[in-house]
Structure 1
Amino acid sequence: MPGTPSKTSARLCDGDLSRAQPQAVRLDACSACQLKCPLCPVTTGATHKLIGVGMLALDDFMRLLDHNPGLRRIELANAGESMLNKALPDILRVAHERNVITTFDQGLNLNHATDEALEALVRYQTEVVRVPIDGITQKTYEAYRRGGDLRKVLSHVQTINRYKARYGSAKPLLRLQFIIFDHNEHELEGAAVLARMLDMELVPRLNWSTSVFAVKDRERVRQVMGYADRDEFFQETGRHYCHHQCLDLWRSPTINWDGKLLGCCRNLWVSYADNVFEGPLEDFVNSEPLRYAREMLLGQQPPRSDIACSQCSVYARMQESGNYITPEKVEAALEKVAATAPLS
């Protein structure tokens, strides 16, 4: 039986788990990307219709903060490469001045970056920067990060570290994301060494696909990850590999660069609002469709065609296994955000 929501959860949800009062959001600073990663929805064109190609304007960012003084954390990456946005240093500065934590835990490929932007990550105390480096040689790196230059990426990471030393700062925490493919699985140990050399935290990940770039030495991957691929993860846990992303409908709703409300980072089909920069976020995230979506994820309502979850593989796995989001998971996710938010 679901437990009784804590005081923190009740404060954030008003005791109604179909509603949200987010202290955090994911706001895409740029939906364009200079790389052509084969499995990425930007490369395949899946993002073109709903997300489009564009960059977050500084004025829109300031409007979001003006309308939502309770926001405490903003993830500034989603579909594209945020470093392509020339306004990024000013966006980070404004967030820092407003006492809002910034992160890039969705990832920065760092193939192109100005010195000003790299310094801003440190100067304005960005908390986390995740960098996808799926190979320790140019050959293996560009096998997936097509159009990428590993030397530039490593140089930009080193520049961040130099600024961290200059400012005497531990931030941002740097994460080296290593997605395990058939062409790089032999470099897992080398990636760990590279991460230590660059003062980064190694974050290995399973391949999105179980058929394209599928790993060959499944036992080797299983020893590192616990599972050889995402299908095996589901078979053993009853959950989609990205099941945690569904919690974003409560803790950190996704906003497109142009103000469209997407709800979560996997949504490529439905906009729940045209422009959330025009008013308080709480009004938009508690529309009837989004409240219904949360009830779907809780297993309280059947799928509905106008809800993005109905087209999502994560929700399909929930239906298959009956392993829906629980009130306890929502509560824990909200309390984690509240605990890591800066003091007002």
Structure 2
Amino acid sequence: MQLKNRLLRKATLIATGNKKIRNLIERSQISMDFPAHLFIEPTNICNLKCRMCPQAEPSDVKRGLMDFPIFKKVIDESVTHGRRMSIFFHKDGEPLIHPQLFDMISYATEKKASYRTHLSTNAQILDEEKSEKLVLSGIDSVIINIDASKEDTYRLIKGKNGLSEVEKNVKYLIKQRNKSGKAKPMIRVKIISVEENRDEIPDFRRKWKSVADEVVVSSEFLWPGGKTDTADGTTSSIDRYPCISLWLSMVINWDGSVSACCIDYYHKELIGDIKKTTLEKIWRGAPLQKLRRGHLLGQYEKTGICFKCRGLWVRDTLGIDSEKWLITKMKAGGLWDE
């Protein structure tokens, strides 16, 4: 059973790592009626202040925990609509802080609202009890943001000690997953490459490659509107293409407000409120259509935080002449006027 589960996880990694396969999957998921990916933020409260994250900055962003009825409404509408999505149980905070997180994951799993569920955590509070509940919840994928191989570097980046505890927590989660006889969750460990940890990346890979299912190394992201923003706030020196997120994903913030993108930490690009309307109406609503149109017409200076972003552009993600293809899809969905 253990060998079978390892092979299943390996096959998943190979498939998702193939660019052509990924392009085909993304194209097949785009719908003008309902999102394919849903980011649900259990909380925007975090127990760390990572130096590459807006959480490290003073701000007047209101913080709180998502009420379960808001979460339930999102899942129930998704089930009623009949669209099985990929659900991400994270955004700006540490999801394990929410006391009903495992109930949320289990509810989505039992309702068959998603074909794949994801969780991103710093694992600081991923104790043995939480690890056991996480495995039992039915979550498909867990990514653990560690960002260092040495304790001193960890403290420098994260703002507090805890690397040895985090490493112990991750290994216990893997042990519980294997003990359960299940192939999931897929467990990935991640390091964001920054000046402070760059020389530790080879050691990080060696430490985790035979322990976790995948080791992820990513570049630092420039958060629009924050201290990690670019100096002049533009991306005029590089080619711009429409962003795939506007046609694939929707973000439900902890308070029920809906953002156009998962990088909207400061809630500057709100397109609706799930407490007042439905996901489908927001997906087809005027605020999101205005953003999509701005991208397709190359009017990025009119697209708010998108103008400063270096994110997921569809020409690479879809692998086709994206602008023409997306306009055709929007026309067919009654969302494009000449």
Normalized against structure 2, the TM-score is what?
0.73
Summarize deviations over 1:209-245 as a string: whole Å, max 9, x none. 6xxxxxxxxxxxxxxxxxxxx99xx99x9468xx89x
- Provide the alpha-carbon RMSD of the alignment: 3.6
In 2, the alpha carbon distance for the partners of 1:325 and 1:197 equals: 32
Aligned residues of 1:65 and 1:71 also touching (Cα < 8 A): no
SS of the residue 1:182 aligns to: coil
Give the fraction of aligned pairs with identical amino acids, expressed as a percent.
20
Question: CA, structure 1 residues 328+94, in 2 after alignment: closer, same or farther (shift >3 Å)?
Answer: farther
Task: Detail structure 1 runs of 4+ shifted over 6 Å in the superposition.
Answer: 322-327
Asked if 1 retains the 8 angstrom alpha-carbon contact of 2:29 and 2:36, the reply is no
Alignment partner, residue 65 of structure 1: 75
Q: How does 1:151-300 map to 2 (within 5 A)?
A: 151-208=164-221, 238=238, 246-267=243-264, 268=266, 269-273=268-272, 275-298=273-296, 300=297
Instruction: Report the number of matched residues.
Output: 284
Indicate the larger mover: 75-84 or 165-174. 165-174
Counterpart of 2:98? 85
Give matches, 1:22-33, under 5 Å: 22-33=35-46
Distance 2:217 2:104 in 1: 30
Instruction: Please say if residues 58 and 90 of structure 1, whose CA atoms lie closer than 8 Å, have aligned partners that are also in contact.
Output: no
Higher mean alpha-carbon deviation, 119-128 vs 149-158, is at 119-128
- Offset at 1:276? 1.1
In 2, Cα distance between the equivalents of 1:28 and 1:184? Answer: 28
Unaligned runs of 5+ in 2: 1-23, 223-229, 327-338
Secondary structure at 1:68 match in 2: helix
Amino acid at match of 2:66: L
Between the aligned partners of 1:81 and 1:152, the Cα distance in structure 2 is 16
CA contact (8 A) 1:238 1:323 kept: no
Task: Specify the code of the residue in structure 2 equivalent to 1:66.
Answer: D
> Unpaired runs of 5+ in structure 1?
1-5, 14-18, 210-229, 333-344
CA contact (8 A) 2:35 2:249 kept: yes
Which residue of the partner structure matches residue 225 of structure 1? none
Offset, 1:41: 1.0
In the superposition, relative to structure 1, how do residues 277 and 25 fare at CA in structure 2: closer, same or farther (>3 Å)?
A: farther
Determine the structure 1 residue equivalent to 2:225: none
CA gap of 1:327–1:309, structure 2 versus 1, over 3 A, is: farther
Partner SS, residue 142 of structure 2 = strand
How far apart, in 2, do the equivalents of 1:239 and 1:253 lie? 25
1:127 — aligned with what?
140
**Deviations 1:150-193 (CA, angstroms, capped at 9, x unpaired):** 12211211121121112112211111111222332221221111
Please tell me whether residue 98 in structure 1 is matched to residue 111 in structure 2.
yes
Q: Which one-letter code corresponds to 1:200 in the other structure? A: D
| Alignment CA distance shift 1:10-1:131 (3 Å) | closer
User: Could you tell me which amino acid in structure 2 is paired with residue 294 of structure 1?
Assistant: R
Q: 1:312 aligned to 2:311?
A: no
2:155 partner SS: helix
Q: How many angstroms does 1:12 deviate by?
A: 4.7
Structure 1 residues 117, 239: CA separation in 2 closer, same or farther (over 3 Å shift)?
A: farther
| Contact map agreement 1:29 1:55 (CA 8 A) in 2 | yes
Q: What CA deviation, in whole Å up to 9, does each residue of 1:49-96 have, x standing for no partner?
A: 3xx211222222111111221242210111111111111111111111
Contact map agreement 2:70 2:274 (CA 8 A) in 1: no
How many Å separate the matches in 2 of 1:304 and 1:53?
A: 29
Give the counterpart letter for 1:188 in structure 2.
I
Deviations 1:272-325 (A, max 9, x none): 11x214543110122112111112222x263575x434553338x98xxx9999
Q: 1:255 to 1:122 in 2, by over 3 A?
A: same
Distance 1:302 1:185, change over 3 A: closer
Pairwise CA distance, 1:137? 1.5
Whichever residue aligns with residue 55 of structure 1, its letter is L
Cα 1:328/1:57, change in 2 over 3 Å? farther
Judged with a 3 Å threshold, the aligned counterparts in structure 2 of structure 1 residues 29 and 297 are, in CA distance, closer, same or farther, namely same
